Amino acid sequence: MLYSQTTGAGPDLVLLHGWGFNSDLFDSLIEKYKHQYRITKIDLPGHGRSDDVAGGLDEWCDEIIKLLPNNPILLGWSLGGLLAINLAKKIKLSKLILVASTPNFVQNSHWQYGINADNFQQFSNALSLNLSKGLKRFVSLQTQNKNQLKTLIQSIDTLPASASALNQGLEILLTSDLTEHFKHLSIPIEATLGSRDTLVPHTIKQWYSNQNISVSLLDTGHLPFLHNDFKL
């Protein structure tokens, strides 16, 4: 069973976090927008307070669907964005918001907007050696707000992801290529990127623009929703 929590009033907005983290990462965003949206945050399978789910991309999405309200706005950050893109072909959404995310995280012969597969593997291996320490260092590079940083670090310590979920998540990131599916989505889509993001290159902005998608580029790393200028 997956954990979820709903706060606020207004149009339904669902938040999906990224690899290794949990939905508490969005608490400051929820506090900011709870008077404009009815916001549901979900811990991904094996992350935070959620149970493990066997399988991969589709199995994870099938479990998430069980918690979704009708026709929601779906915001996905990083891995959560990849899941959100896949969910968009399974259910009706009113809008898709991608934050530091992409339909394909890894470079290949026809996709230049990802990171090198070997570099990605080295990054994930280094994190896996000491996940807590690695994630803490990662978030410390993303925000200078000490209170925000303290809250994020406490969440990482309190609610670590399971080893199997981390492996599943990495496999999803390494092997999922949803670019063709993404091109055929007919719902409103918005994207926010970080100009200093080392995982999702900001050069994908042009590709998104070519798909007639509105793109915001903020002076930040891989956590643009923590930036003061981030807006829904």
Please count the other Cβ atoms lying within 10 Å of the Cβ belonging to residue 160: 19
- Distance, in Å, from the CA atom of 177 to the CA atom of 172, rounded to the nearest integer, reads 9
For this structure, is 78 an active site residue? yes
- Nearest of 103, 65, 98 to residue 232 by alpha carbon: 98
For this structure, is 222 an active site residue? yes
Instruction: Name the phi and psi angles at 75, rounded to 5.
Output: -110, 125
- DSSP label at residue 161: P
78, 101, 124, 176: the catalytic one is: 78
| Burial bucket for residue 203 (CB in 10 Å: 0-12, 13-18, 19+) | exposed
Phi-psi domain of 28 (left: phi exceeds 0; alpha: psi -120 through 50; beta: other): alpha
Report CA-CA distances (Å) from 86 to 26, 61, 102, 117, 171: 21, 7, 11, 21, 15
Report which residue type is found at 71.
Answer: N
For this structure, is 132 an active site residue? no
Residues 44 and 165 sit within 8 Å (Cβ to Cβ): yes
Catalytic residue numbers read 78, 197, 222
